[in-house]
Chain A
Amino acid sequence: MKVYVPSPLSSYTREANTVDADGASVAELMADLDRRYPGMRFRIINEQDEIRRHIKIFVNREQVRDLATPLAGDDEIMIVCALSGG
């Protein structure tokens, strides 16, 4: 499925803004992203398996907070870094 990657993470995806990845859940998708782009998952998900503060994951434009959320093959995933701080 297609995953939109925010610019702060594009150094992991060789500057690509959209990438393909697979998974039957958000958790599996994150694992697949990390296989394809090592280190990327830990930038999105902390060691307690929680989505980092200021990072949001949208599935078909609906925000999800639970990594167990199921995914279908034609879902569109968007990872967003909130703009904050100075």
Chain B
Amino acid sequence: MSKRAGGSARRKLGLHLLIGTRKGLFFLRGQANRRTWKLAGPHFLGNTVHHAVLDPRDRRTLLVATRTGHLGPTVFRSVDMGKTWKEAGRPPAFPKVHNSDAKREVDHVFWLTPGHASEPDVWYAGTSPHGLFRSEDGGVTWSGVAGYNENPLRGKWGGGPEDGTPDGPKLHSVIVDPRDARHMYLGMSSGGVFESRDQGASWSPLNRGCAADFLPDPDPEYGHDPHCMRLHPLHPDRVYQQNHCGIYRMDRPSDRWQRIGRAMPKKVGDIGFPLVLHPRDPDMLWVFPMDGTSVWPRVSPEGKPAAYVTKNGGKSWTRLDRGLPRSQAWWTVKRQAMAGDTHDPVGLYFGTTSGEVWGSRDEGTRFTLLARHLPEIYSLETAEA
């Protein structure tokens, strides 16, 4: 299916925010000074857009993971920044089986990751329920990664539908080591962090040191709930994760997570979903805490939203809330809904569950409201081209 939608076809694209929402995809196009932004869209109105990612390798191919309530999941592709769209010829889907107990159906494509620089048309997709898919033609056709999808242990790692998030189990944070296309990570909510050294043919759990307070075993091999994992692009041995049970850092080749969220203020805690790395400084990252106490309200603690930044790899954290509401703001930020640009100083952006987009041109020192009244925001990515 081809669709035409609003948007400009300029060759020079500048800075864009790709905003996936519960009801469609929006673009915020920024001027060079990052002070003026223009909202465009919606594209795919009525579709839930879980993720939209521009390929940083060609700065041209844009993939969007969409789902409507009735029509199931798919992936759309644009090479003109949303002027025209073409649906994947073969979207991610599990193989047909005859054993009713083994039947799996992709509910939604949750995560998109461009592949290694040496494989320009390769993309990966993570789905709900847990599934890992690979495209070798820029997102037109998708096949299951057998080493994960057909792995006999997969059911044990991730459990059943009841072991996932309220919106279903999710495979996310698919990461390809920029030094080696065969070295990959992924996160399962729930299931934990897993690593592959053979491009997905086999996977090993990587959860030592990470808490799983909701399991009886204090240090299980898997079953954890990573919310978002990031690898530093210039220092790929440095990995961070925002987990259901805290903020962690790992310095490879160590295989043990260190809980750096212990240094967060006790009143705020270290529970949250997104985690953004500074594009050049491996010791600098931002998180956006939420209330993970009692029944997990999943809102800003005390209704006072704030990002937190560390500049020393998690030894200490600083609250960043200038420009944000001081009280009675009961939104939060989902795991894919916060991102940075590569400018200096870094621009930091996030979308809220109440449909607002906030941005900072100075690494979070001060935030301004860039857009509001959007549907619930599921994802926000920067696109520079």
A residues near B (Cβ < 8 Å) are: 8-9, 11-12, 37-40, 42-44, 46-50, 52-55, 81-82, 84-85
**Secondary structure class of chain B's binding surface, majority of residues:** loop
* 22 pairs from A and B in contact (CB 8 Å cutoff): A8-B71, A9-B71, A11-B3, A12-B1, A43-B71, A43-B72, A46-B72, A46-B93, A47-B96, A47-B104, A47-B106, A48-B96, A48-B97, A48-B103, A48-B105, A50-B105, A52-B71, A52-B72, A54-B70, A55-B70, A81-B70, A85-B69
Interface assignment of B87: CB less than 8 Å from any CB of chain A: yes
Interface assignment of B347: CB less than 8 Å from any CB of chain A: no
Are the CB atoms of A47 and B94 closer together than 8 Å? yes
A8's partner among B68, B89, B97, B104 (CB-CB below 8 A) is B68
- Report chain B residues within 8 Å CB of A46: 72, 93, 105
- Report chain B residues within 8 Å CB of A40: 1
Are the CB atoms of B74 and A42 closer together than 8 Å? yes
- Report chain A residues within 8 Å CB of B72: 42-43, 46, 52
A39's partner among B89, B105, B106 (CB-CB below 8 A) is B89
Interface assignment of B95: CB less than 8 Å from any CB of chain A: yes
Question: Given A39-B89, A43-B71, A54-B69, list of 15 further CB < 8 A pairs?
Answer: A39-B1, A39-B74, A42-B72, A42-B93, A43-B72, A44-B71, A46-B105, A47-B94, A47-B95, A47-B104, A48-B104, A49-B96, A52-B72, A53-B70, A81-B70
| B88 to A, closest residue via Cβ | A39
**Alpha-carbon gap, A73 to B69, bound state (A):** 32
- Report chain B residues within 8 Å CB of A47: 93-96, 104-106
**Alpha-carbon gap, A40 to B91, bound state (A):** 12
Most chain B CB atoms below 10 A, which of A43, A47, A49, A53: A47
Q: Indicate whether A42 sits within 8 Å of B70 (C-beta atoms), given known contacts A12-B1, A48-B97, A48-B103.
A: no
- Closest CB in chain B relative to A41 CB, distance in Å: 11
Q: How many A-B residue pairs have CB under 8 A?
A: 56
| A55 to B, closest residue via Cβ | B70
| A40 to B, closest residue via Cβ | B1
**Alpha-carbon gap, A53 to B107, bound state (A):** 11
Are the CB atoms of B1 and A11 closer together than 8 Å? yes
- Report chain B residues within 8 Å CB of A42: 72, 74, 91, 93
- Closest CB in chain A relative to B186 CB, distance in Å: 21
**Alpha-carbon gap, A55 to B94, bound state (A):** 20
| A85 to B, closest residue via Cβ | B69
- Report chain A residues within 8 Å CB of B71: 8-9, 43-44, 52, 55, 81
**Alpha-carbon gap, A81 to B103, bound state (A):** 23
- Report chain A residues within 8 Å CB of B96: 47-49
- Report chain A residues within 8 Å CB of B103: 48
- Report chain A residues within 8 Å CB of B97: 48
Most chain B CB atoms below 10 A, which of A8, A46, A53, A55: A46
- Report chain B residues within 8 Å CB of A11: 1, 3
Most chain A CB atoms below 10 A, which of B69, B74, B94, B95: B69
Query: What per-residue 1/0 map shows which CB atoms of B71-112 lie under 8 Å from chain A?
Result: 110100000000000010101011111000001111000000
**Alpha-carbon gap, A46 to B105, bound state (A):** 7
| B103 to A, closest residue via Cβ | A48
**Alpha-carbon gap, A43 to B1, bound state (A):** 11
Most chain A CB atoms below 10 A, which of B72, B96, B103, B104: B72
Most chain A CB atoms below 10 A, which of B3, B71, B94: B71
Are the CB atoms of B70 and A38 closer together than 8 Å? no
| B71 to A, closest residue via Cβ | A43
- Report chain A residues within 8 Å CB of B106: 47
